[in-house]
Structure 1
Amino acid sequence: MEFGDNNMANYGIVDGDSGDGNNRNNVVVGDHVRGSNSLRSNTWSQGFDITDEHDNCPLANNCGEIASARATISDQPQYDATAYAEDKMRRKLRFFFMNPIEKWQARRRFPYKFVVQVIKIILVTIQLCLFAHSNYMHVNYTWDNRIAFSHLFLKGWDATQEVPAYPPATGPLALYKQDDFYSTIDYALKGYYNLSDAIGPYSYTNDDNSIGRVDLCLYHYKEGTIFGFNQSYVFNSEIEKTCIKINHTMMMLTNVKTKNLLINKNITINFSALVKAHLKFSIKTVNLKAAGPMTPPDCYEFDIVIIMDNSDFDGQMLLSLEAEPKRLQCNDTTYITDNQIFSALRTILNIFVIIICGISLVLCSRAIINAQKLKIETIKFFKKTYNKNLSFDGRLEFLNMWYITIIINDIFIIIGSAMKEQIEKKYFESDHWNLCSIFLGTGNLLVWFGVLRYLGFFKTYNVVILTLKKAAPKVVRFLMCAILIYAGFTFCGWLILGPYHIKFRSLATTSECLFALINGDELFATFSITSFKSPLLWWYSRIYLYSFISLYIYVVLSLFVSVIMDAYDTIKVYYRDGFPKNDLQTFISLCTDEASSGVFRQDTQTIKNSPNFSELLNKLCCCRKRPYGSFSQSSDSSSTASKSDEICGSAICI
Structure 2
Amino acid sequence: MEGISSSPEEHTASEGEEARKITRESPSPGNHVDQGFPQATSSANISQLEEKMRRKLQFFFMNPIEKWHAKRKFPYKFIIQLIKIVLVTFQLCLFAHNRYNHVNYTEDNRVSFSHLFLLGWDSTREINAYPPGAGPLAVYKLDEFYNALDYAYAGYYNLSNAIGPYSYNDENNNPPPPVFCQFNYKRGIINGFNESYEFNAEIVSSCVNFTKSEGLFSSQKFIKELNLEVDFASLVRAELMFSIKTINFRAAGPITPPDCFRFDVAVVFDNEDHDGQMSLSLEAEPYKLACKGDKEYVTDNKIDQILRSILNILVILICSMSLMLCSRAIYRAQLLKELTVQFFRQAYDKELSLDGRLEFLNVWYIMIIVNDILIIMGSAIKEQIERNQFTNDQWNVCSLFLGTGNLLVWFGVLRYLGFFKTYNVVILTLKKAAPKIFRFSICALLLYAGFTFCGWLILGPYHMKFRSLATTSECLFSLINGDDMFATFSVMSKKSHLLWWFSRIYLYSFISLYIYVVLSLFISVIMDAYDTIKQYYKEGFPKSDLHTFMGAPSCDDVSSGLYRTQSSSSLNATMNSLFCCNFYRSAYSKIDGGGSSLNLL
When Rg is computed on C-alpha atoms for both structures, the one with the higher figure is 1
Secondary structure (helix, strand or coil) at the match of 1:399 reads coil
Structure 2 portions without partners, runs of 5+: 11-27, 35-39, 579-601
Could you tell me how far apart the structure 1 residues matched to 2:75 and 2:491 are?
60
Which residue of structure 2 aligns with residue 110 of structure 1?
74
SS at match of 1:460: helix
Q: Does the 8 Å contact 1:306/1:321 carry over to 2?
A: yes
Query: What is residue 589 of structure 2 aligned with on the other side?
Result: none
User: How far apart are residue 33 of structure 1 and its match?
Assistant: 5.7
**Which whole-Å CA distance do the structure 2 matches of 1:446 and 1:335 have between them?**
44
Pairing partner for 2:244 from 262, 271, 283: 283
Look up the match of 2:557: 594
SS at match of 1:532: coil
In the aligned structure 2, how far is the partner of 1:422 from the partner of 1:570? 51
* Aligned residue in 1 for 2:342: 380
Change beyond 3 A, Cα 1:610–1:551 = closer
Question: Are the equivalent residues in 1 in contact too, given 2:251–2:257 (CA < 8 A)?
Answer: yes
Amino acid of the residue matched to residue 422 of structure 1? Q
**Which residue of structure 2 aligns with residue 152 of structure 1?**
116
Deviations 1:216-242 (A, max 9, x none): 110000111111111111111111111
Q: CA deviation at 1:95?
A: 0.6
Match of 1:265 in 2: 226
Identity of matched residues, % = 62
- Give the C-alpha shift of residue 356 in structure 1: 0.3
Bigger RCO (CA 8 Å, 6+ sep): 2
Cα deviation digits, residues 65-85 of structure 1 (max 9, x gap): xxxxxxxxxxx9951221111
Give the distance between the partners of 1:616 and 1:172, measured in 2 at CA.
Answer: 82
1:288-367 alignment runs, 5 A limit: 288-333=249-294, 336-338=297-299, 340-367=302-329
1:507 aligned to which of 455, 469, 474: 469
Question: In structure 1, what residue type is equivalent to 2:564?
Answer: R
Q: Deviations over 1:346-400 (max 9, x none)?
A: 1000000000000000110010000000011111111111111111111110100
Change in CA separation of 1:614 and 1:155 when aligned onto 2, cut-off 3 Å: closer
* TM-score, normalised via structure 1 length: 0.81
Residues 532 and 538 of structure 1 are in contact (CA less than 8 Å); yes or no, is this contact kept in structure 2? yes
Alignment of 1:240-255 (within 5 A): 240-248=204-212, 251=213, 253=214, 255=216
- CA distance in 2 between counterparts of 1:407 and 1:181 reads 55
Contact 1:35 1:590 in 2 (8 A): no
CA distance in 2, matches of 1:125, 1:264: 61
Q: How far apart are 1:167 and its partner, in Å?
A: 1.1
**How many equivalent residue pairs?**
551
SS, match of residue 266 in structure 1: coil
SS of the residue corresponding to residue 499 of structure 1 reads helix
- SS of 1:222 mapped into structure 2: strand
Contact 1:327–1:429 (CA under 8 A) maintained in structure 2: yes
Tell me the TM-score normalised to structure 2 length: 0.88
Q: How far off is 1:335 after superposition?
A: 6.2
Task: Please give the per-residue CA displacement for 1:548-571, whole angstroms capped at 9, x wherever unaligned.
Answer: 000000000000000000000000
Q: 2:460 aligns to what?
A: 498
Q: Shift of the alpha carbon at 1:517?
A: 0.4
1:181-203 CA-partner distances (Å, limit 9, x unpaired): 11211111111111111000000
Corresponding residue for 1:443? 405
Query: In 1, Cα distance between the equivalents of 2:329 and 2:234?
Result: 64
1:470 counterpart = 2:425: no
Do the aligned partners of 1:106 and 1:600 also contact (CA within 8 Å) in 2? yes
Q: Is the 8 A contact 2:371 2:404 kept in 1?
A: yes
Q: 1:578 to 1:526 in 2, by over 3 A?
A: same
Cα offset, 1:607, TM superposition = 2.9
Q: Which amino acid aligns with 2:449?
A: A
Task: Name 1:22's counterpart in structure 2.
Answer: none
Residue 432 of structure 1 and its aligned partner are, at CA, apart by 1.0
Amino acid at match of 1:297: P
Aligned to 2:582: none
CA distance in 2, matches of 1:112, 1:329: 43
Residue 203 in structure 1 maps to residue 167 in structure 2: yes
Residue 263 of structure 2 aligns to a residue whose secondary structure is: strand
Amino acid at match of 2:55: R
Aligned match for 1:220, one of 177, 184, 187: 184
Large movers: runs of 4+ above 4 Å: 31-37, 590-593, 608-611, 614-617
Moved more, 137-146 or 207-216: 207-216
Deviations 1:554-603 (A, max 9, x none): 0000000000000000000000000001111111117657211221111x
- Offset from partner CA, 1:590-637 (integer Å, 9 cap, x none): 7657211221111xx2435775239989xxxxxxxxxxxxxxxxxxxx
Cα deviation, 1:125-151, whole Å, max 9, x if unaligned, reads 110010001000000000100000000
